[in-house]
Every structure is written in structure tokens, then in C-alpha cells.
Homo-oligomer: A and B are copies of this chain.
Amino acid sequence: MARTTDGSGTTPVPRRLLAAATRLFAEQGYDRTSVQEIVEAAGVTKGALYHYFGSKEDLLHEVYARVLRLQQERLDAFADADAPVERRLRDAAADVVVTTIENLDDASIFFRSMHHLSPEKNKQVRAERRRYHERFRALVEEGQRSGVFSTATPADLVVDYHFGSVHHLSTWYRPNGPLGPREVADHLADLLLRALRP
């Protein structure tokens, strides 16, 4: 009886809905995905969806919340490590690339559909996002203060520079392309660190 497909089986209904929504939002965009499509992909009825989620938007918000939590945890772990700052920044910069590639669906949604959230939820997500951004910036500033990074560019801009390339991954990265996640991550972290050389 225990199956692992999305359509039905033992996976809890909310989990199935979230998985189906994630895939469809990434493939087609939030607006182009109908609630009907989601419930069909999850093998339940509309009523079930609205039993667990208040609205279609809530579903989107849940996708975000999950990604944000995951990324923040990983960044915290790397930033708190016992190593020189250039090592910690490099690891964090590379890790966000790897996890982004490994969750390209979530990433696409994140960077393409955030503006579909209501002002209220948008604010909430932006706040959590900012926390993440600032943790990263703190690493850059730490290196700048200790002289291992150049101070030519404001730390803020450096962070935006790097995250721009991370967001961009979902546009060009293809799983069966010439470079694997680790290789891309190393290259992008490399570019960041090289740009920061004094």
C-alpha cells in the first residue's frame, strides 16, 4: 500500500499539495498555474486544499518559508564555523550555489513569483530575506575590516553582485549541461573571492 508517488499513497496530503504546487509554479509560473491543476497533480480535491491552506497565495508563501528556513540554517552554519573569514565566505558563497542548483524549482519560484505575494506577506518574506542578506554582508565586512578583502566596493553591493548570479542560475543552468553543481559553485565563489582581493 505504501507508495511514494505524488498522486496518492501514504504521503500526507499537505505535503503532496506543496510538492505539486512547487513543481507547477516553477514550470509555469504562479499565475499560470490553476488550483485545479495543483489538486489534480496531488490527487486530491479542491476542498482538501482549502482545508489545509487558506488560499493559493498561502501555498506560495509556504514554499517560500521552507526555502528561507533551509537557506538561513545553512548560512548560519557556515558563517559560525571555526575558520578564517575568507574560508567561511567562500564556503557560504559556494554552498548557496549548490543548494540553489539542487532546488532549482524553489529558486525559480522565489525569484520570479515573489511579487505575486500580497503586500503583507511580501513584507514578511522580505524581512526574512534581509536577515539572510545581512548575515552574508557581515562576513564581507568582517573581511574588509581585517584587511583580507578590498574595501573598494561597499559590502552591500558585493552581496547583491553575488546573489544576482545566484538568482540568475535558474535562467541558464541545465542539469545535463557541461558543469555540475559543485563546479559551478566553485567557479562562482572563486569569482567573488577574486573580486574581493585587495
- A residues sitting closer than 8 Å to B (CB atoms) are 29, 31-32, 111-112, 115-116, 150, 152-154, 157-158, 160-161, 163-169, 171-172, 179, 184, 187-188, 190-192, 194-197
Whether B157 lies near A187 (C-beta < 8 A) is: yes
Whether A191 lies near B187 (C-beta < 8 A) is: no
Note all chain B residues with C-beta closer than 8 A to A166.
164
Whether A160 lies near B168 (C-beta < 8 A) is: yes
A–B complex contacts, Cβ < 8 Å, 12 sampled: A29-B115, A150-B194, A152-B194, A157-B184, A157-B191, A161-B165, A161-B188, A163-B168, A164-B164, A164-B168, A167-B167, A192-B195
Question: Complex: how many Å from CA A152 to CA B195?
Answer: 13
Note all chain B residues with C-beta closer than 8 A to A150.
194
Work out how many copies of this chain go into the complex. 4
Tell me the interface secondary structure of chain A in the complex: helix
- State whether A158 and B191 are in contact (beta carbons under 8 Å apart), knowing that A112-B115, A164-B164, A168-B163 are contacts in the complex: yes
Residue in chain B with minimal CB distance to A27: B115
Note all chain B residues with C-beta closer than 8 A to A165.
160-161, 164-165
Whether A190 lies near B116 (C-beta < 8 A) is: no
Note all chain B residues with C-beta closer than 8 A to A179.
157
Question: Complex: how many Å from CA A164 to CA B96?
Answer: 15
Note all chain B residues with C-beta closer than 8 A to A157.
179, 184, 187-188, 191
Contact of A190 among B32, B153, B191, B197 (CB under 8 A): B153
Question: Complex: how many Å from CA A161 to CA B32?
Answer: 29
Note all chain B residues with C-beta closer than 8 A to A172.
160
Residue in chain B with minimal CB distance to A191: B195
20 more A-B residue pairs beyond the given contacts A160-B172, A164-B167, with a C-beta to C-beta distance below 8 A: A29-B115, A31-B31, A31-B32, A112-B112, A150-B194, A152-B190, A152-B194, A153-B187, A157-B179, A157-B188, A158-B191, A161-B165, A164-B166, A165-B165, A167-B168, A191-B195, A192-B195, A194-B195, A194-B196, A195-B195
